[in-house]
């Protein structure tokens, strides 16, 4: 059975990304290592919470994500393994590839405007070098639309 490591941060987006691979008729059965990537807590919130409260929140958030994504995978007979990401994703990928002998690594995290995602492996290149052109390009595009609308 082949193993696929999938990084997930939003259930709907992940379901859309995984549906072609998981739901295809006649597709092989995979073991999916689902890696939840919880959002970072704001600095102001985290200073008032204990480590155990932060850990409990991360686990609860991840459990809700897994409960939404896993049924789609298990419906076709796939098996799943749950992992919660902590620290650098590239290091976690190395560890998981070694532990599970994974064949593929899939980044199913939802891209966020103006925030480049951290690469999940050393081979992955970011969409833009540091995300510096995303916001100025969007502002220029909106400005062009306003000029056209004003005419």
Per-residue pLDDT of 114-123, as tens digits, reads: 666 666 665 6
Q: How far apart are the first and last CA of the chain?
A: 60
Query: Which pLDDT belongs to residue 44?
Result: 74
Cβ atoms within 10 Å, residue 6: 27
Query: Which pLDDT belongs to residue 95?
Result: 86
Instruction: Please identify which residue in the block is written with the tokens 């995290």.
Output: 109
Residues 1, 32 contacting (CB under 8 angstroms): no
Nearest 5°: CA angle at 76, between 75 and 78? 100
Helix (H, G, I), strand (E, B) or coil at 120: coil
Which band of pLDDT confidence, cut at 50, 70 and 90, is reported for residue 62?
A: very high
Residues 36, 65 contacting (CB under 8 angstroms): yes
Residue 64 has pLDDT above 90, yes or no: yes
Q: In whole numbers, what is the pLDDT of the chain averaged over residues? A: 78
Spatial distance between the Cα atoms of 118 and 75, rounded to a whole number of angstroms: 31
Residue 18 has pLDDT above 90, yes or no: no
Which pair of tokens denotes residue 151? 């005419």
Spatial distance between the Cα atoms of 92 and 120, rounded to a whole number of angstroms: 8
Spatial distance between the Cα atoms of 7 and 137, rounded to a whole number of angstroms: 28
Highest mean pLDDT among 42-46, 64-68, 132-136: 64-68
Q: How many residues are given for the chain?
A: 151
Q: Which of 81, 71, 63 is nearest to 6 (CA)?
A: 81
Residues 123, 23 contacting (CB under 8 angstroms): no
Which pair of tokens denotes residue 21? 């691979």
Choices 3.90.400, 3.30.1370, 3.40.50, 3.30.70: CATH for 2-150: 3.40.50
């Amino acid at each position: 059975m082949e193993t696929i490591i999938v990084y997930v941060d939003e259930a709907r987006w992940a379901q859309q990304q995984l549906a072609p691979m998981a739901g295809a008729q006649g597709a092989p059965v995979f073991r999916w290592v689902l890696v939840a990537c919880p959002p970072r807590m704001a600095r102001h919130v985290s200073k008032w919470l204990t480590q155990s409260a932060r850990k409990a929140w991360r686990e609860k958030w991840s459990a809700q994500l897994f409960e939404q994504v896993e049924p789609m995978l298990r419906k076709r007979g796939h098996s799943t393994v749950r992992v919660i990401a902590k620290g650098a994703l590239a290091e976690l990928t190395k560890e998981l590839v070694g532990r599970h002998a994974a064949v593929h690594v899939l980044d199913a995290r939802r891209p966020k405007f103006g925030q480049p995602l951290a690469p999940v492996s050393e081979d992955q290149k970011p969409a833009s070098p540091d995300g510096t052109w995303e916001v100025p390009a969007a502002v220029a595009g909106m400005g062009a639309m306003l000029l056209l609308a004003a005419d």
